Structure 1
Amino acid sequence: MTTPRPPAERASHLHGAGMPLEPGRGVDHVRSTLTHWGLDGGLPGTDALVVAGELLANAHQHAGGATALRLTWSGTRLRIEVSDNSSEPPGLITPHESTRLFGHGLYLVERLSTRWGSRCRSEGKTVWADLRLPHAP
């Protein structure tokens, strides 16, 4: 009996080519990539769209826009990475207050992802989030 091999890691990139990525264009890219990979069914796919939208919106609002979007999927983990030119790390507003008119983005990212964080780059930062998704068919 042979042991099934895990699927090869898949990756998808979207770059702004010198211009900031519009959040809607980034979310459209995530949607089409998840569909192409067979990961668009049900709640996990919807969660990925929400997380990507929030990371892209934060880059747009606080850092002049995203410069790149990267998706990687390795079996059961989808990583969403959004890069921008600001070195300022993202800040989760605590405690979360549902009556506040703003400050819900990273709270949603934290609730929907298994983990998230940021790392410095030579020109800015990358904010990432991991989500658990089922194997593609």
Structure 2
Amino acid sequence: MVRGEETTSTRRSLRYELAEGPGLVAQCRDLTQRALAAWFGDAGARGREPVEDVLLLVSEVVTNARKHGTAPYELCLEGRGRALWVQVGDSSPRPPAPHGPHRAGRPSGHGLYLLQRLAAHWGSVSRDRGGKTVWFEVDVLR
């Protein structure tokens, strides 16, 4: 669950503190959808392919943080020109790693494959206070 509202807000930058709870993935998607609509107008409208890609990737990264690390503690969104840059912080120091080659028939294990296919850029960085941040960028106005 999101603790309060955005903790930092500038015209095209938002930071949310997250807390474990039911509906966290859906809340993160909703926050991202609102930012896309505010920053990119009609181009950020639901149903456009790049927007759906962003929302899918937010779901994957937040879910992966919960499943493979610890509860995500931060969601940062930043509009950069034509793109949206997303960061999800968690307290696990392990960087994302694929579980072998991608197999479409598996019920799970598609998150990193989707990041590689849908994001213009993505990666993971260690945090000074421990943990990591997984980030990605999607060109919303493509």
* Normalised TM-score (structure 2): 0.81
Q: How does 1:50-69 map to 2 (within 5 A)?
A: 50-69=56-75
* Per-residue deviation, 1:92: 2.3
* Per-residue deviation, 1:9: 7.3
Percent identity of paired positions between Structure 1 and Structure 2 = 33
Answer yes or no: is 1:47 the counterpart of 2:53: yes
Hey, what's the Cα distance between the residues in 2 that align with 1:74 and 1:108? 21
Gaps of 5+ in 2: 1-9
Paired residue for 2:124, among 84, 108, 118? Answer: 118
CA displacement 1:59-84 (0-9 Å, x = unmatched): 11112211000011111121110000
For the 8 Å contact 2:44–2:140, the answer to whether it is kept is: no
1:5 is matched with none
Q: How does 1:89-104 map to 2 (within 5 A)?
A: 89-104=95-110
Hey, what's the Cα distance between the residues in 2 that align with 1:87 and 1:36? 33
* Per-residue deviation, 1:35: 1.4
Paired residue for 2:79, among 59, 73, 76? Answer: 73
**SS where residue 86 of structure 1 aligns?**
coil
**SS where residue 33 of structure 2 aligns?**
helix
**SS where residue 34 of structure 1 aligns?**
helix
Q: How does 1:22-37 map to 2 (within 5 A)?
A: 22-37=24-39
Hey, what's the Cα distance between the residues in 2 that align with 1:90 and 1:131? 19
For the 8 Å contact 1:9–1:72, the answer to whether it is kept is: no
Gaps of 5+ in 1: 1-7
* Normalised TM-score (structure 1): 0.84
Aligned residue-pair number: 126
**SS where residue 104 of structure 2 aligns?**
coil
Runs of 4+ in 1 over 3 A off after TM superposition: none
Which protein has greater RCO, CA pairs closer than 8 Å, 6+ apart? 1
Hey, what's the Cα distance between the residues in 2 that align with 1:84 and 1:20? 11
Hey, what's the Cα distance between the residues in 2 that align with 1:56 and 1:106? 12
Give the AA of the match of 1:117.
G
2:3 is matched with none
2:20 is matched with 20
Hey, what's the Cα distance between the residues in 2 that align with 1:65 and 1:73? 25
For the 8 Å contact 1:23–1:60, the answer to whether it is kept is: no
Larger Rg: 1
